[in-house]
Amino acid sequence: MSTPTKVAIIGSGNIGTDLMIKVNRSEHLEMGAMVGIDPDSDGLARARALGVTVTHEGVEGLIALPGFDEIELVFDATSAKAHEANAARLEPFGKTMIDLTPAAIGPYVIPAVNLEEHLDARNVNMVTCGGQATIPVVAAVNRVLPVAYAEIVASIASRSAGPGTRANIDEFTETTSAAITAVGGAVRGKAIIILNPAEPPLIMRDTVLALVVSDGQPDVEGRVRASVEAMVADVAAYVPGYRLKQEVQVNPVPGDQPVETLLDDLSSPRPTHQVSVFLEVEGAADYLPAFAGNLDIMTSAGIQVAERFATRKAVAR
């Protein structure tokens, strides 16, 4: 068996701590350092208890650690603005960064859709929780029929939205919308996030609406449904709590439905069908509560990327 790849995690909050637990379960990854800015954070305390090297002096503290040179991958679980500074500071050292913020400095990566295309990138962006949940579905529809417009709504429990999530709401909508087109393949995309205050907290729910143009071939509904179901299975392979909430709906668009209000700047043919997909994401409850599927899908996707990078480097050695 090859030597595990050493990783560092910047951000000792909920996402960073959950990442650490998942790293410790991995055959391909090994914790090299946990980095925070609050010496009393639960994440740093748990890391110390596990024997992980820690620093509460941020990225400068990471660079100063004796084992810094051995670290190959760096997860950033801070905020979009913080990642910009962290990436700039670490760039001269040649580390590969896996960005779990909406900073979008590097290419968007959705493991089930385009991971293999970006294995040489030095900084990959994991989009957002809503993006990880819904963009695979947009891509699945688009590989059957052209998607003229895709709109996603991510509804998460308010209690699962920490300071970082709340500070990045604008970046969430912008980054997710951009990735719907760049990765999902839609001509236009729109993203909405809802912080649901219900108690007890509700599990993450996602809705995907796609307007597609028929290719004139039979069985539009069957082909779209089969593609979406196959993609859901691919995502569930690394996010076990990811599932369809109900059967995929494919309906003809009535000729008098005013879809032009959404597509008034498009020259493409008028959409012929509307695809509606309803998803649910339950967390693994490693560190975060099970209702926080929005956070778990990010850490699970991040681990998937890190393990693929690690196995590729092992082969190269």
- Whether residue 163 is annotated as binding a ligand: the answer is yes
> Residue 200: is the preceding peptide bond cis (ω within 30°)?
yes
Nearest to 193 by CA among 218, 158, 217, 224: 158
- Whether residue 79 is annotated as binding a ligand: the answer is no
The 8-class DSSP code of residue 69 comes to G
Sign, CA dihedral 38-96-172-283, equals negative
Catalytic, 129? Answer yes
Collapsing DSSP to helix, strand or coil, 95 comes out as coil
CA distances (Å), origin 272, targets 7, 135, 136, 141, 198: 48, 21, 21, 14, 37
- Whether residue 166 is annotated as binding a ligand: the answer is yes
Q: Choose, from 129, 141, 228, 281, the residue flagged as catalytic.
A: 129
- Whether residue 26 is annotated as binding a ligand: the answer is no
- Whether residue 162 is annotated as binding a ligand: the answer is yes
46 touches 23 (CB < 8 A): no
- Whether residue 196 is annotated as binding a ligand: the answer is no
- Whether residue 2 is annotated as binding a ligand: the answer is no
- Whether residue 13 is annotated as binding a ligand: the answer is yes
Name residues whose C-beta falls within 8 Å of residue 310's C-beta, 6 or more positions apart in sequence. 4, 5, 28, 29, 72, 73
- Whether residue 161 is annotated as binding a ligand: the answer is yes
- Whether residue 107 is annotated as binding a ligand: the answer is no
- Residue carrying the six token digits 């939205």: 161
- Whether residue 164 is annotated as binding a ligand: the answer is yes
**Which of the residues are catalytic?**
129
The annotation places the binding site for NAD(+) at: 12-15, 160-168, 294
The annotation places the binding site at: 12-15, 160-168, 294
